Amino acid sequence: MSGDAINANSGSGPQAFTLVLVKPTHYDDDGYPIQWLRSALPSNTLACMNALAEDAQARNVLGSDVDFHIETYDETNRRVSPSRIVRRIRARGGKALIGLVGVQSNQYPRALDLAREFRTADLPVAIGGFHVSGCIAMLPEMPAELAEAQSMGIALFAGEAEEGRLDAVLLDVWHDRLKPLYNHMDNLPGLSGEPPPILSRKDVSRTAGTYSSIDLGRGCPYQCSFCTIINVQGRKSRFRTPDDLERIIRANYAQGIDRFFITDDNFARNSDWEILVDRIIKLREEEGIRLGLTIQVDTLCHKIPNFIEKTTQAGVRRVFIGLENINPDNLIAAKKRQNKITEYRDMLQKWRTHGAITYAGYIIGFPGDTRESLVRDLEIIKRELPLDILEFFFLTPLPGSEDHKTLLAKGTWMDPDINKYDLDHRVTHHPKMSDAEWDEAYKLAWDTFYSPDHIRTILKRAAQIPNGRPKTVFRTMLWFKSMIDFEDVHPLEGGALRIKHRRDRRHGLKRESPLVFYPRYWSETVSKAWKYWRFYAGSRAILKELLADPDRHAYQDVAITPPQADEFEELSLYHATMGGEAALARKKRGDSISPAAKVAGAV
C-alpha cells in the first residue's frame, strides 16, 4: 500500500494523526530483545516525550480539526509489534509518525530493525537519543549505521525536543516535508516551564515497584573521558524550577504514583537543589504527600552543607554514587579528578547514618587494572567501605564520549557490533590483560563482592543501625546477584520474568523452529525459577537469623566504624591502591592550608 493510501482520510470526519513513541530495548547474545513482565527502571525520555506530545495535542499544534492520537511503548516491559501498530494506524486513517526515542548505542540495532519494518509499511520514522546525538556531536563524519538509516528514509534527531522542537517535526510530517536530519546540538533548550515528564499509571505499573521518573536538570560540568552526558547534554547545567517539580509530583501523585527516580546524572551539582528539596519537604509537611526518592550524586556531595540531611528528609532512600574506582591513578587518567578516595568513607557513612541505601558504580578495565589488582581492590572495598550495593561495568568507549573519539582517531580496534556497547560486554582490548583475562576479571568482580560471606556482612551492617533497612537491602542484593548469575544481563537491564518472542529475533539471524524455541524457553524459565527459589531460601535464612539476633545492634567492623584520627595511616585504601599515598599527601597539603589562604587562592 502506498504512503498516500495509508495517509488518506476516510469519509468527511476529522483528520487523524498518530504519534507512536517507542523506547527500544536491545538484543541479548542470542538476538532476542531483552524484555520483562516487569522491568527495573522507568524511561525518563519516554515520559518527557509523552509530556511534550500531550502538550502539542492540547495546543492543537496540527489544527483544531485533527484527531491527535499518542501511543507509548517501553519495549523493556511491553512487546512492540510493528504489524499490529501499522494495522491500527491504517484503520484509524490519517497520517502518522513513528518516533524511536532515547536510543542508546546498544539499543540502536534494535531501533533500526523496528524502523525497517515501519518503513516497509511506508510510514515516516525518526530516531533520536544518545547514540545519534553523541555521534553527531563528537565525530567528524556520519558513521555507517546512521547513514544506513538515512538511506532508508529515516529522519535523525540530535539534541532535545523542548522549546517547540517536537512541534516542528510534527508539522513537517503533517505537511509531508520530514527532513533527513534535525540537529540541535549547538542550541540545547532550557527546561524551565516545559511540560513535566509524565506517563500513564498503566505504563508506570509495568516497572518493578511502580517507579516514575523526574529529570530536574541536564548537563554536567565535569570532564570524565568515558562519559557521553557531557557531550550530549552539555557541560552547562540547565534546570527545572520548583513549580515544575511540584507539577510533576502532583500529576503523578494524582495517579497514585509516589516513588520517583530523579534521573539527573548528578543531582548534587544542581545549584537549585535546596529550593527544589524544600518544595518537596513543604508538600510532605503541609499536605502529607510523602515520596520515596532515588537520586544520583557524586562523591563530594557530603561536603555541601545540609545536602544529605535535607534530601533524606525529603524522602531520598536510595543513592547511586559514581565511585568508579578506588585507585587515584585510574581516576586521574579518566579525568575524574573530582573523586577523592580520602572522602569515600566519610561520604558513605553520612548516607548510612541518615538511612539511605548506597549503590555505587565501579568500572573494570582502566589501563592500570590487572586481575590481581582487582581482587586486592575489592577486598579493600569489602573490608573498609560501607557500601550496600556495588555494580560493575566494563570500561567502554561509548559513541559520544571522548574515549570513543580518541580510539577511533587512532584506528584502535573496537567491536563493530554496537549492540554490545551496554557496559556489560568487552568491546575493545586492554593494555595489560588478555581478552579472556578481562572477561574473567569482570565476572570475578560480581562473584567476589556478592559472595555468601559478604552478603552476610552487608546484611549485618544494615541490621546494626536503627534506621537501616535490611529487608530492602536483602531484596536488592538478590536482584543484582540473580540477574548476573541466572539471567546473564546487567541488573540495571533486569526485570521480573523474562519474556521472549520467537518472531522478534534480530534482523539477519535465522528464525528458530517452534520445536526448538518453545521447549528451550519454557525449560529455561522453570530452571531459573528453581534457582531463584533456592537462592532466595538460603539467603532468607541468613536474614532471619540476623534479625533475630538480640545483639545485632552491637555489631562492628572497620567499614562502619566512624573515621578515626589514625585511619589515614592504617587503612589499605590509602596505602595499597595505585596513587593512594599521593592522594593522601594531597589531602594533607590541603588540610595544612589555612581557611584564609584557601579563600585568597580561590580569588
pLDDT tens across 248-304, in order? Answer: 999 999 999 999 999 998 999 888 999 999 999 999 999 999 999 999 998 889 999
Q: Report the pLDDT averaged over residues 201-222.
A: 87
**pLDDT at site 594:** 45
Q: Average pLDDT of the chain?
A: 91
Q: Which of 234, 251, 242 is nearest to 51 (CA)?
A: 251
Q: Which long-range contacts (CB under 8 A, 24 or more apart) does 532-541 make?
A: 532/482, 532/486, 535/478, 535/481, 535/482, 535/485, 536/478, 539/455, 539/474, 539/477, 539/478, 540/474
Interacting residues of 526 by C-beta distance below 8 A, sequence separation 6+: none
What's the pLDDT band for 2 if we cut at 50, 70, 90?
very low
Report d(CA 317, CA 259) in Å as an integer: 10
Q: Which of 325, 248, 332 is nearest to 293 (CA)?
A: 248
Whole-number percent of the chain with pLDDT over 70: 96
pTM, two decimal places: 0.92
Q: Report the pLDDT averaged over residues 491-500.
A: 93
Which one is predicted more confidently, 585 or 59?
A: 59
Interacting residues of 343 by C-beta distance below 8 A, sequence separation 6+: 299, 300, 302, 303
What's the pLDDT band for 489 if we cut at 50, 70, 90?
very high
**pLDDT at site 565:** 75
Q: Let me know: does 42 contact 48? Beta carbons within 8 Å.
A: no
**pLDDT at site 153:** 97
Q: Report the pLDDT averaged over residues 325-353.
A: 83
Q: Is the dihedral of CA 374, 377, 382, 388 positive or negative?
A: negative
pLDDT for residue 597 is more than 50: no
Count CB atoms within 10 A of the CB of residue 288: 7
Report d(CA 103, CA 421) in Å as an integer: 12
**pLDDT at site 333:** 75
pLDDT for residue 475 is more than 70: yes
pLDDT for residue 570 is more than 90: no
H-helix or E-strand containing 343? helix 341-353
Q: What is the 3-state secondary structure (H, E, C) of 22-56?
A: EECCCECCCCCECEEEEECCCCHHHHHHHHHHHHH
Q: Let me know: does 319 contact 351? Beta carbons within 8 Å.
A: yes
Summarised one tens digit per residue, pLDDT across range 68-118 is: 999 999 999 999 999 999 999 999 999 999 999 999 999 999 999 999 999
**pLDDT at site 595:** 52
Between β-strands 292-297 and 155-158, what pairing exists: parallel, antiparallel or unpaired?
A: unpaired
**For the chain, what is the total number of helices (H) and then of strands (E)?**
23, 16
Span of 2-16, 91-105, 204-218, 423-437 with lowest mean pLDDT: 2-16
**pLDDT at site 94:** 94
Q: What ranges make up the beta strands (E) of 411-494?
A: none
pLDDT for residue 582 is more than 90: no
**Distance from first CA to last CA of the chain, Å, rounded?**
69
pLDDT for residue 421 is more than 70: yes
Q: Look up residue 28 and give its three cell numbers.
A: 541479548
**pLDDT at site 392:** 96
Span of 48-52, 231-235, 459-463, 555-559 with lowest mean pLDDT: 231-235
Full DSSP string of 96-157? EEEEE-S--GGGHHHHHHHHHHHHHTT--EEEESHHHHHHHHH-SS--HHHHHHHHTT-EEE
Q: Which of 591, 525, 485, 538 is nearest to 37 (CA)?
A: 525
**pLDDT at site 13:** 54
Which one is predicted more confidently, 425 or 339?
A: 425
Q: Which of 440, 360, 424 is nearest to 106 (CA)?
A: 424
What's the pLDDT band for 602 if we cut at 50, 70, 90?
very low
